[in-house]
């Protein structure tokens, strides 16, 4: 799924740092992830700390502009537009 489509649905795309991957970090896909820093001043390219079991690593939030941050904050484009129409955004 394209990055912008994820944001449009209210899903935050994350990217591993250069040289890192799920394999290099020993991730299997069965972990529960705790992602910190989303509520604290999310901005384009912000690094977020991820805890996966006993592993901790950083990822980059792939929101690339202020509009995408707004869409994500509202839960997606549809919710953003509805709130705009209702005068609540």
- Give the tens place of pLDDT for each residue, 21-65: 999 999 999 999 999 999 889 999 999 999 999 999 999 999 999
| Cα distances (Å, whole numbers) of residue 82 to 5, 67, 77, 89 | 18, 15, 9, 9
Q: What is the pLDDT of residue 87?
A: 86
Is the separation of the CB atoms in 38 and 48 below 8 Å?
yes
Is the separation of the CB atoms in 62 and 15 below 8 Å?
yes
Q: What is the pLDDT of residue 40?
A: 82
- SS3 helix, strand, coil % of the chain, rounded to 5? 25, 20, 50
How sure is the predictor about 1, in pLDDT bands with cuts at 50, 70 and 90?
confident
28 token code pair: 């299997």
Q: Residue 88 pLDDT more than 90?
A: no
Query: Structural domains in the chain?
Result: 3-86 (3.20.19.10)
């Amino acid at each position: 799924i394209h990055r912008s489509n994820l944001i449009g649905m209210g899903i935050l795309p994350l990217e591993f740092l250069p040289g890192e991957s799920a394999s290099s970090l020993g991730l299997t896909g069965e972990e529960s992830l705790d992602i910190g820093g989303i509520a604290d001043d999310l901005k384009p390219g912000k690094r977020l700390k991820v805890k996966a079991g006993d592993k901790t690593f950083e990822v980059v939030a792939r929101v690339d502009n202020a509009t995408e941050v707004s869409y994500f904050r509202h839960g997606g484009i549809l919710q953003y537009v509805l709130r705009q129409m209702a005068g609540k955004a």
